[in-house]
A and B are shown apart, each in its own frame.
Chain A
Amino acid sequence: MSSSVFGNRTTGLSLTLPAALFAAALFLVPVAILLSEAFVGPEGGFSLSAYSDFFADPRYRAVFWRTLKLGVLVTLTAAIIGYVAAFAIVSLPPKSRGRIFGLVILPLMISPVARTYAWLVILGRTGIVNETLGLFGIEPIRFLFTETAVFIGLLQLFMPLMIVSLISAMENMPSDAVPAARLLGASWVQVFLRVILPLTREGLVIGGTLVFTGSLTAYITPAILGGSKVLMLETLLYQRVTVARDFASASVIALILILMCFGANLVLRRLATVKRRTAA
């Protein structure tokens, strides 16, 4: 926009600068120093030894793989349930759609401490899930302090983000696209792969990134539902700092987490563009 009124670049810059400087000073600089620490060797100078040490330890490797696995699983599950749910919600009349939408985003507004705490009661050996299973004669299952518990907690925590992203993508989809494809004899699988998925990939990328990033960076859910037997990178980082004052490992974990988040975003973007080419 370069009309006479808005042409002045200095004004634009001076309005943007405070926010940018603030973010840089408060955020970029301290985080960058922290990350750079992991590249300093024991005798000073550039070194990757902190990284090789980290990955040489089988226990840390296990934590890394577990974090990646849970992140991927939560994202995939959220996407599958999210598509079904978003499709159901979009098919509602506008008035109830708004209400249900409000209920879906509601959990996002509630303290994660409260949200995670509830699962402690639900998933216990005498909790509501096991009591219900008991009615069918099923032996109590141990959920707490297992990956399953962390998975369930994370899924509930972040699924709303996926659903919201998919709903906004579906709302921009031409309303007759799905009925038209159905009329032409396409099966539901074909409709999903050829019509819905290509038209909603932007929402999937945003939702997927948010869910994956959220799962990786959640602290309280793995801390309470997983405990020290199901460490994730985030809980490991906190443990290294507070218990061992091991700032080198903390920096390594920090960079790994950030790279994983960016990586997920890139992968999802790539997947989305590939889909577009095949669809075209």
Chain B
Amino acid sequence: MLKRSLIAGASVLALAPAANAQDCELTISVYSFAQDEFDEILYTPFEEETGCEVIVETGNSVERLAKIAANRESPVIDMAVVSVHDALEASRDGLLQPIDTDALENFDKLYDLAKDPLGNGEAIGYTFYATSIAYRTDKVEVTSWGDLLSDELAGNVAFPDVTTNQGPPALYMLGKALGDDDTSLEAPMEALGEHADDIVTFYVRSSQLAQLMMQEEIWAAPIGRFAWGQFKDSGLPIAWAEPEEGQTGGLNVMVMTANNGNEELATRFMDYWLSTEVQTKLAEGLVDSPANAEVTVSDEAAENLTYGAETVAQLDLLPPEAIVDNRDAWIEQWNALVVQ
């Protein structure tokens, strides 16, 4: 009796994905953010259209790529969305394969910047975001990236950790404010290191920041536009800075894992995701800013997104090669200069 229920239990656990398998399934790896919206706008309609099941793994870029690398011999994940520099690193590791753009009906509709950001056909951009500084207007005024190290903000500012997607771009802009735009990031790290005690935390999760601002732990922090919603809704006087050095940002891309054996369905899914219909819904839901140039959104949504060819063109982006090539050195330097 005991034994039988144990075996039943174990098999349910072990075979959970297989037990309700349909004829086909697609395993994707995505950011954990806004899963309910993605489910409604993207996964469920896609499942209904194809009759295939979408299995979702969530987490941050780096953790998920670590797992993809670990399973390279027998890939579990068919397609993933990651930052463009993580895609470059995965590509160099041989974890990816080119995406068949001829099979993508929506490919031509994309902004040129999104079409082939790695230059080898292994990644396609699906969303852009701006990165700037969110700050409490009742406490301070932020007009430059250099203001993050001002006396006014000492003890009231959070900065992204160098290992996050926001870290290097924010450092790069801080460097610009200090008059040094070298990608070694040495000058901004040195400056940040001198002010390390004035930084409340080097955050790894942007979700913390709204709470920290509400609790008055911090007054300002560099954030990605995708996290802006929760600040805006908090009812506090918080503004999105337009620093004189400009805004930076990032591009997130979709990639196809090498030898996954499920390329056809994964390509179909990518095409669906890039379609004007889905991209419009994601934009209107303030989930992701569009990479599809045919998307038009309401003024209210546009206000909260990184939207339009002009906006996208103005972003001061760190090239992905610079990030991948320097990342180890940055972490070393960060450990030596900033966190000690």
Contacts and interface: CB of A to CB of B under 8 A. Distances in A.
Interface string A53-69: 00001110010000000
B200 interface: yes
Contacts of B46: none
A243 B334 CA distance: 14
Nearest to A241: B66
A59 B200 contact: no
B116 to A, nearest CB: 27
Given A145-B200, A227-B203, A229-B201, A244 B340 contact: no
Nearest to A231: B339
Nearest to B203: A227
Contacts of B204: 227-228
Contacts, number: 54
Contact of B216 (A126, A145, A229, A245): A126
A151 to B, nearest CB: 17
Interface in B33-67: 62-63, 66
A29 to B, nearest CB: 19
A229 B66 contact: no
Contact of B335 (A59, A127, A145, A241): A59
How many of chain B's residues touch chain A, expressed as a range?
20 to 34
A228 B214 CA distance: 21
Interface in B201-239: 201-204, 211-212, 214-217
A242 B201 contact: no
B122 interface: no
B66 A59 contact: no
A245 B200 contact: no
B215 A62 contact: no
Interface in B134-165: 155, 161, 163
B6 to A, nearest CB: 13
B98 to A, nearest CB: 24
A142 interface: yes
A57 B331 CA distance: 13
Contact of A228 (B69, B201, B217, B336): B201
B200 A242 contact: no
Contacts of A62: 340
Nearest to B67: A242
B71 to A, nearest CB: 13
Contact of B215 (A59, A125, A229, A244): A125
Contacts of B69: 245
Given A59-B336, A144-B217, A243-B62, 11 more contacts: A58-B340, A124-B216, A125-B216, A125-B217, A142-B155, A227-B204, A228-B161, A228-B203, A228-B339, A243-B331, A245-B69
Interface of A: 57-59, 62, 120, 124-127, 140, 142, 144-145, 227-229, 239, 241-245
